[in-house]
Homo-oligomer: A and B are copies of this chain.
Amino acid sequence: MASNLAWEIVDGLTTEVGPRLAGTEADHRAVEWAKRQLETLSFDKVWLERIEFPVWTRHHESAGVVSPFPQKLHITALGYSGSTQGEVTADVAGFASLEALQDAPLEQVKDKIVFINHFTERTRTGSGYSDSVKVRYEAGLIAEEKGAIAVMIRSIGTDSHRFPHTGVSTLAKEPLPAVALSAPDADQLARIMARSEAVKISLNVKIDYREAGHSWNVIAQVNGRETPEKLVLVGAHLDSWDLGTGALDDGAGVAITTAAAHLIGELPRKPRSSIRLVLFGNEEAGLWGAKQYVTANADTLRNHIYASESDFGAGAIWRFDTDNPVLMDTAMPVLEALGIEKGEAASSGGPDIVPLEEKGVRIFRLRQEGSDYFDYHHTADDTLDKIDPEQLKQNVAAWAVVTYLAAEIDE
């Protein structure tokens, strides 16, 4: 709780690099920055692991109501969206949900701009997001099948500010232009549609796509004192969306897990097994770094005792989840002092841990208060001022304790 390192890391990354969309020059600066930082900290080894993936970037996007009530709409293109051919104008076909779009007859959709006004519920655990994100992934595919010319979704977010939320859609050969409206703009469009049968929208989206992009997973390790070949993997993702500075998503996770691993590295007596910190590359566009990690480390996955990622902002941790009663009982007396309650078997280790979990690696989870996480997630407003330094410290303390114990306990 005394260390200010996590704040220094997230302050540094978001200020000195800022937005860092995977595969861009800014992302490569982030990799340089992270490697340089890790080399000054208490790790025994720091290395890079190359990842290859296609790179989607935005040029510009704009939209407006043309009739009956001309006005601008605030939008952002979704990752893997296609471009319009200059500005296009079309009638809007509105739906309350993905299911309603799925059920719609072709003639209701053909040659129109589809608008899906699906709401995302605010919950502590972020379950509202999980329930809604399918709209972002699938709206474009379904709309295209039915002959639409573009798709607009209400942002997958819980705020009512004029920030559209970006995020990845589905990688396709010839994708429709796919954009998100901010919540107030989605409300506005719904009010306009309630007043008029024929609402015309103009849309102009230009994106760039190149097949051959790359980045790196940035990896560092604190070697264990007895069984250094065995390891507990903790991490976060280094890349961010292009709109904000990626403070909550996922500068905070980078800062928390790096600081926790560093604190363990500073101990005079290292834990039995190793701690491996992985700052994953290109999480946002589809877990490219996480998948590459599993491929590149296939031979040693059996040595991964545990894996867990911090990728849910900077809210205080309120619960510890593990299926290991020894780890739970050893950790809880310390975690209780940090205001953390005893949980159950972890249902997820974080997005970048999914490929490891699928290979049988055990997970634990430190659950964060996330009621406001989806207010900022994937928006321009994901900036450093949204992080509470005290809550960040509580995260570091909890991660240091659990990571240490997971590497120390001899089963």
**Which residues does A use to contact B, with CB under 8 Å?**
11, 14-19, 26, 68-72, 74, 160-163, 183-184, 187-188, 191-192, 195, 244-245, 379-381, 383-386
Contacts and interface: CB of A to CB of B under 8 A. Distances in A.
A184 B376 CA distance: 13
A31 to B, nearest CB: 15
A160 B384 CA distance: 10
A16 B195 contact: yes
Nearest to A386: B160
Contacts of A70: 18, 26
A376 to B, nearest CB: 9
B15 A192 contact: yes
B162 A17 contact: no
Nearest to A381: B162
Given A15-B195, A71-B19, A161-B161, A187 B26 contact: no
B188 A15 contact: yes
Q: Which of A14, A17, A19, A184 neighbours the largest number of chain B CB atoms within 10 Å of its CB?
A: A184
Given A26-B70, A69-B15, A184-B385, A380 B195 contact: no
Given A16-B195, A184-B381, A188-B245, 5 more contacts: A183-B385, A184-B385, A187-B384, A187-B385, A188-B384
A19 B16 CA distance: 36
19 contacts: A15-B69, A15-B191, A15-B195, A16-B68, A16-B69, A17-B71, A26-B70, A26-B71, A161-B161, A162-B379, A162-B381, A162-B383, A184-B381, A184-B383, A184-B384, A187-B384, A187-B385, A188-B245, A191-B384
A312 to B, nearest CB: 21
A192 B161 CA distance: 27
A163 to B, nearest CB: 7
A187 B160 CA distance: 23
Nearest to A20: B71
A244 B195 CA distance: 20
A208 to B, nearest CB: 17
